[in-house]
Amino acid sequence: MKVLIDFVALITIYFLKFYKKWKVRGRDILFINTIMYIYLSFVLYFTLMPILTSLPFIFNHPYTPMNLVPFIDVLNARGDFVRQVVLNVIMTVPFGFILPLAKKNTKLLKVIFYTFILSLSIEILQPLIDGFRSADITDLITNVLGGIIGYVMYLIVKPLTTKILNYIKNR
């Protein structure tokens, strides 16, 4: 139920702030930006939600500092490290793929930068919003790797995506 409040807020923000603005710019822009918005909403769902109902309690638990030892779980074979690494890579593959579609002329370094900022933001906020979550440098590294993989996938299918977006634009 708490997550539903966050989704209602995200849907409201979409229609009040973004939908009209993107629609005026063309169907292709509306389509890609909406896909990115939905994707980022699900990233929030899996990493930070519930957010709004947690805000009054962010100072009611200790803030666990970020683990700054890369791949310590992997090196010490702790927990489900393989699953965590794979999921963190997979989570940002769509970001690396969609970003150059949403923001034209985006090169690899910008994808790396924006993926890093997205991941760092999540890692910093996780322990604040939920006292049971922690921030980890490994997540940051694997998220950036996922963004790079997504960008490479974008480059491979760029001609196809261009045709699809032109079709949407001219419909």
Mind giving me the DSSP string for 83-121? Answer: HHHHHHHHHHHHHHHHHHHHSTT--HHHHHHHHHHHHHH
Q: Which residues constitute the domain of residue 12?
A: 2-59+67-170
Domain count, the chain: 1
Q: Which of 102, 113, 124, 105 is nearest to 37 (CA)?
A: 102
Is the pLDDT confidence value at 93 over 80?
A: yes
- Pairwise pLDDT comparison (129 vs 13), residue with the higher score: 13
At residue 108, the pLDDT reads 97
Is the pLDDT confidence value at 44 over 80?
A: yes
